[in-house]
Amino acid sequence: MKQAKVLSETEMKRVLGMVATMRHATRNRMALMLSYYGGMRVGEIAALMVGDVIDGTGAVKDRIVLRGAITKSGETRAIFVGEKLAKELQRYADTLTGRAKAEKAALIATQQGGHFLANTLTQLMGQIYRLAGIDGATSHSGRRWFITKLAHSGVSAKVIMTLAGHKNLSTTQRYIDVNDEMMRAAVAIL
């Protein structure tokens, strides 16, 4: 099975530019940012509630705890919120009003205010990539980018595996992308 494309910085800028022109741009951007900067699966993103991410004072939590019921493995997993994701989440939280701010409300809500189905959010992300002219990108592209970026930044394989929620290192290794630019940089070290 062909792996989802890992976007370059230029392609990511093009995608975000496309998202900015869309209806529900803020929501759509947030869904992508959770994938890219949180390494989350689309089903996990779809199931998030506002209270999973935002505390009672309206501040972004430093850790998102994914309940076992929404993870692929069925086990609880922590998503540590880095600076970039925290800024995106706070910006998004500041746009929520009324019932959309309720602790049990869907973080990434449909037009009717409910949770997306994982498949529907997958289709939305696919549509965004198509509109941006990115071939081979899927709802898993952000997760692959997250894992690849960590691996090429020298983060320990065990840490990456744990952040990704993988039980086996071989699964994590399949996510890591290698391209010509990375190989050039590697041999330049010598």
* Domain limits, the chain: 9-141
Q: What is the pLDDT of residue 168?
A: 84
Q: What is the pLDDT of residue 160?
A: 87
Q: Is residue 170 over pLDDT 90?
A: no
Q: Is residue 167 over pLDDT 90?
A: no
Q: Is residue 15 over pLDDT 90?
A: yes
Q: What is the pLDDT of residue 79?
A: 95
Name the pLDDT band for 114 (thresholds 50, 70, 90): very high
Inter-CA distances, 123 with 120, 166, 174, Å: 5, 24, 23
Q: What is the mean pLDDT of residues 128-136?
A: 96
Q: Is residue 69 over pLDDT 70?
A: yes
Give every CB contact of residue 30 below 8 A, 6+ residues apart in sequence.
88, 89, 92, 107, 108
Q: Is residue 1 over pLDDT 80?
A: no
Tell me the Cα Rg of the chain: 17
Give every CB contact of residue 151 below 8 A, 6+ residues apart in sequence.
157, 160, 176
148 in Cβ contact with 5 (< 8 Å): no
Q: What percent of the chain has pLDDT over 70?
A: 99
Q: What is the pLDDT of residue 172?
A: 77
So what's the architecture of 9-141 in CATH? Orthogonal Bundle (1.10)
Q: Residue type at 94?
A: D
Name the pLDDT band for 164 (thresholds 50, 70, 90): confident
Q: What is the mean pLDDT of residues 172-180?
A: 77
Which range among 40-49, 80-89, 133-142, 173-182 shows the weakest confidence by mean pLDDT? 173-182
**Position with higher pLDDT, 153 vs 34:** 34
